């Protein structure tokens, strides 16, 4: 039996390969943003694309997020498939008007005549010691906007598979890239093209029967670590990776919770108005009679993203997750 050389690849390299494969497969795919050309992106996700495909296919734009996305709208109107890089989460806010008023609504406003197949790549979240305005978790803003798909991979394989799906989608996709996972590694078989993952399907990353941790993006590795630690306490946790906030995979999530009877939603963004509240409500509505305890949320605090020297207190870690799991041994107060 011959063994294929399997080499490790990082999350960022998987994204890079997804962009390269998409550009090679379809001349309509154009990458644009700040520093994406010669520099290859501040996280090197677009490394080598300008050299391989030319400046017209991988374009360094002026420094203006609304302008980047606004011109991408026009390019999509003319049949291109722009992939836009917003350099950091909090720098994407100037483009919000374009996202909400045009990108999300154009298909609807034109009764399907003018779909905008734009992929908006947003490096998001903290944990890398970024200074202020470099670590926001902005997913709730996008998820609250009808017309957008909101996708966030947590594994190297999904980084590739979901980005390919996002670029191929005829709908606009906000593609949230967890910054602290850019350098995470997995094995990679160069002989086999990685799998393209359809958007909208959650997956159980670990199976267990005591309770379900529902999570996505940067919090997945933390939840898997927490699940290992909980094993020692006699808790066998299932970990569900949502992968997509919109559309939301109620079926996979609720099938798990109905089996375990207990659930904790874990994410990095603030708790109030964050995706956890919505997810907890959905799970409660659909699984009420199966629940042994209220659905709990473990999120960041409801504070502006803290300075790097204090961010470890803000980010939900293993202890905070295990505390929540302990609280799932619910006893009604008299």
| Spatial CA neighbour of 174 closest among 208, 123, 231 | 123
- Cβ atoms within 10 Å of 232's Cβ, excluding its own: 8
Q: What is the DSSP string of 155-183?
A: SHHHHHHHHHHHHH-SS-EEEEEEGGGTT
Return the biggest CA–CA distance within the chain: 69
Binding stretches for other proteins (CB under 8 A):
30, 56, 61-62, 64, 66-67, 69-80, 82, 94, 97-98, 101-102, 106-115, 146-147, 149, 169-171, 200, 246-248, 250-251
Angle, in degrees to the nearest 10, between helices 275-287 and 250-260: 60
- For other proteins, the closer of residues 12 and 148 by Cβ is 148
- For other proteins, the closer of residues 69 and 296 by Cβ is 69
- For other proteins, the closer of residues 79 and 234 by Cβ is 79
CA distance 285 to 294: 11
Q: Cα 215 vs. chain centroid, distance in angstroms? A: 10
Residue 77: CB minimum distance to other proteins, A? 5
- For other proteins, the closer of residues 62 and 234 by Cβ is 62
CA 191 → CA 11, 97, 157, 165, distances in Å?
Answer: 18, 43, 14, 20
Residue 198: CB minimum distance to other proteins, A? 12
Residue 36: CB minimum distance to other proteins, A? 15
Residue 151: CB minimum distance to other proteins, A? 13
Residue 136, preceding bond cis, omega within 30 degrees?
no
CA 138, 143, 148, 150 torsion: positive or negative?
Answer: positive
CB 139 within 8 A of CB 175: no
- For other proteins, the closer of residues 60 and 236 by Cβ is 60
Active site residues: 134
Residue 214: CB minimum distance to other proteins, A? 16
Q: Are strands 185-188 and 7-10 parallel, antiparallel or unpaired?
A: antiparallel
């Amino acid at each position: 039996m011959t063994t294929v050389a399997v080499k490790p690849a990082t999350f960022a390299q998987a994204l890079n390969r997804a962009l390269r494969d998409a550009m090679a497969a379809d001349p309509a795919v154009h990458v644009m943003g700040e520093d994406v050309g010669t520099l290859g992106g501040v996280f090197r996700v677009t490394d080598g694309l300008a050299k391989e495909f030319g400046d017209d296919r991988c374009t360094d734009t002026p420094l203006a997020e609304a302008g980047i996305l606004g011109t991408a709208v026009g390019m999509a109107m003319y049949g291109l498939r722009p992939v836009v890089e917003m350099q950091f989460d909090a720098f994407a806010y100037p483009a919000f008007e374009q996202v909400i008023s045009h990108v999300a609504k154009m298909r609807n406003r034109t009764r399907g005549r003018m779909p905008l197949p734009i992929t908006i790549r947003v490096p998001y979240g903290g944990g890398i010691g970024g200074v202020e305005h470099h670590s926001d978790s902005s997913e709730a803003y996008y998820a609250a906007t009808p017309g957008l798909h909101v996708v966030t991979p947590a594994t190297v394989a999904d980084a590739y598979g979901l980005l390919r799906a996002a670029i191929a989608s005829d709908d606009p996709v906000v593609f949230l890239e967890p910054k602290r996972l850019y350098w995470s590694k997995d094995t990679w078989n160069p002989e086999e093209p990685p799998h393209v993952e359809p958007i909208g399907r959650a997956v159980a990353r670990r199976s267990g029967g005591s309770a379900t941790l529902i999570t996505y993006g940067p919090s997945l590795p933390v939840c898997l670590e927490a699940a290992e630690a909980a094993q020692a306490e006699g808790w066998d946790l299932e970990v569900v990776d949502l992968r997509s906030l919109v559309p939301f995979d109620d079926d996979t999530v609720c099938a798990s919770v109905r089996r375990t009877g207990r659930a904790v939603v874990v994410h990095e963004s603030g708790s109030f108005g964050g995706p956890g509240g919505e997810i907890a409500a959905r799970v409660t509505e659909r699984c009420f009679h199966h629940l042994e305890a209220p659905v709990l949320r473990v999120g960041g605090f409801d504070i502006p993203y803290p300075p790097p020297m204090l961010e470890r207190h803000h980010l939900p870690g293993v202890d905070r997750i295990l505390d929540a799991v302990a609280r799932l041994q619910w006893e009604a107060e008299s």
